[in-house]
Structure 1
Amino acid sequence: RRGDTQADRKETVRLRLENGGSPCAGRVEIHYKGQWGTVHDYKWDLPDAAVVCRELDCGTAVSAPGGAHFGRGSGPIVTWKVECSGTERALKECQSEEWGHYSLSHDNDAGVVCSDHRAPRLLPQNSQCFGRLEVQFGDTWKTMCGLEWDLKTANVACAQLRCGVAVSVSSSMHSGGSAVLTATEVFKCMGNETQLGTCPRSSTTHQDCTGHNNVTLICSGNNGPRLVGGENRCSGRVEVLHGEQWGTLCGDYFGLQDANVVCEHLFCGTVKSIPRDARFGRGARPVWKENYECNGNERRLWNCPVSHGESFNCLHGSMANVICSDENWALRLVNGESRCDGRVEVYSHGSWGGVHDTVWDQNDANVVCRQLGCGYALEIYNSSKYGESDGDSWVHVAQCHGHESQLQDCRISNTLNSSDIEGSSVGVLCSEHFQLRLSDGGSPCA
């Protein structure tokens, strides 16, 4: 039957979806008579969900899960036994039990997934804010084309994942055992959005958007850091994310070792200076009551010990500032027959240098091939195949687990000159080398 409080529903009624990862999926909540409440899932089905999606301008209904699929809500149950035809413009127009504040169990809260639902995740799912990106379109997970993504869009994905800001975005090959669906939708974010679903979108026309060009993200992490107010992302006032709020670190307790870890965390090289003035602005956010006690060897700020002083009176005039060297890494394979075959060289500290073969193994080689968009490693060679690196360049010794998206994510040690250690430079033959050779048409069979 139609509830007998239809007149009461003429008041402003607000609707939202909570805990679903985007504004277009989640637990159905109604703001009614001054309080947010939920909807009981008795008789809840797809036509009811269709009305919710229409009312929220979220496209069409994909599913109508009950049983508190998106978690148990709080407050009262506003209504139950909802029966929409599916054509109504708003949920308050549907037949239901009388609207009010029922004291029913939230174990049966109703949910909705709409077609415009867009939510990211990083794989493997136990990774800490880095990995291969997938986006949920409605109820289907798809990989994103790495050739169509930029840092602004990556920032939105990291923010939606509560993983801070984007440190890097790159293209990598999917190495899982199952097939993947590649999305044809392209996000064109400005960078200030909080959800991918609110970014402008278009369709991709790139011919190379296949399972070999998936987006790999490295986010700064769920407790930051980021540098604000500088000339680039590698200089500025040090801010750290706690929950959903950014705050400044106090400069009174911020030293060289802490600054080195911040630069390392953001892949910004090493510390150039730690300004003690307010040249990067004073900031309007809170100053966190914590003191990072890094030893300088950590690779992420969250690995440093932290103390919290009870008598903390740091003012905005004493903020932590950092200017990093901004030495971005580059990777290449040289002296081979294609870009996916050759001696491994890394650009760092102003010059190119080889990677040493002392502890080099299949895991390390797979990371190199993945970072270059060259598939996986088929063969590992020493300098007898591709020759040694020239000059007094940096020599890198890498130790990877194999799941890293970039070589700089691995444990890296450096020595100034190749004569400092025994051994030779490594080379790699990646799986995509053969696809590249075939595409050149260099034989009667291709």
Structure 2
Amino acid sequence: MGFAIFIFFCALAWSSFTDTEAGDIVSMYSDDAIPIHLRGGTASSGRVEVFYNDQWGTICDDGFDLDDAMVICRVIALKDCPHSGWGVANCKHEEDAGVECSGTPSASELFQILNDQANALIQHGAILDDHETTIATIQNEIDHLAAEVPTLIQANTLQNGEISQLQQLMATLDYKVDELNNMAVFPIRLMGGNASHGRVEVWHDGQWGTICDDSWDINDARVVCRQLGYKDAIAAYEHAMYGEGTGPILMDSVGCTGSEPHLAACSHEGWTVHDCKHEEDAGVGCLYQDELGTWAAFSAGWTSGSYRPTSNYIIPFNQVYTNIGGHYSTNGRFTAPVNGHYFFVFNGHSAYLGSYNVYIYFMINGSAYKSNWIYDTDNDDSTDTSSNSIIVHLNKNDYVSIQIRGNYALTGSERTTFSGFLIQAD
């Protein structure tokens, strides 16, 4: 089924296409999405993998030919193409199928992406801002489709079932366009890295642009990664980690809570409103479902300024840099997802040496387990940082945190940090 008369018959459920920069990926959803990505090669060639039953899997090369490759390269999902059934195969991974695509997306292909994200937003009931360019494009395609239907029916190009399906679809298109009048539809992609890591770019007003890293954090990255079809985010990157973009800077001060279904639902300063340069382009690192397993890792800093509590105080490391698995909370607590051995490192910085000392505890389930301190008599500096690390065994749902002792001082900065990860599960 390499040739589709209309994109609506091989509906774009979830798709990605790439252009000339390695690692670019563009992804969308619909109500019965089947994600596809290329791995083990370049941006435009590689092993084809599809997401089904919460895991990524490959396609056996039995019967796989240029027509099938055309479907994938034209950003059309495989859900309407015949196959033996999910998990039904007589193959080994030495027979995994791959494709090599060429060219950049055409206007029609871009329309497919926009149309599919529109369907996804409609499915989720999202009512957002107006996006006239998208609406006009879709309306033109609908008009073209309507004009072609009589010719195709007369030429017996369509089967009876397809005609019925097409007629039913046509009856709902006007409703979908009405819905589009009340929402913004824009694809997103990753550039400069690979399929799961890169600079975030969004499509707006007929062009691709970047996001400024002001206030960019792990919650923003989680929304981007989920929209791209990944399980979660590994990290939010700042300072053009994956190179500087060349288009406009479209978004600044993005404010996602982490629970939004797509980036369009997050707040920002307004299109093209920013005070940034491309050296501040934001990026993300995303996590594949099949890579997740029982992974658990986090790194966080405390940015709330200097503090000298009168009683013992759990430090709420509020700046989360990495939170693989989502087991760290910004109240300062990491909860063990499984029984196993874990590694932790914690740093305390003080700008008060000479007046107040630093005294912090590593806590397990609310009880002090290991301590770390700095005394002003240790050296002649007015500021200093003390570090410590530990490997401990935790049971599932045990929690760890860092506590500052009452009447001691601590300075919130990039040097007051708390990190840890699972070494090995039991």
Same fold (TM over 0.5): no
| Greater relative contact order, per chain length (Cα 8 Å cut-off, separation 6+) | 2
TM superposition score normalised by structure 1 = 0.35
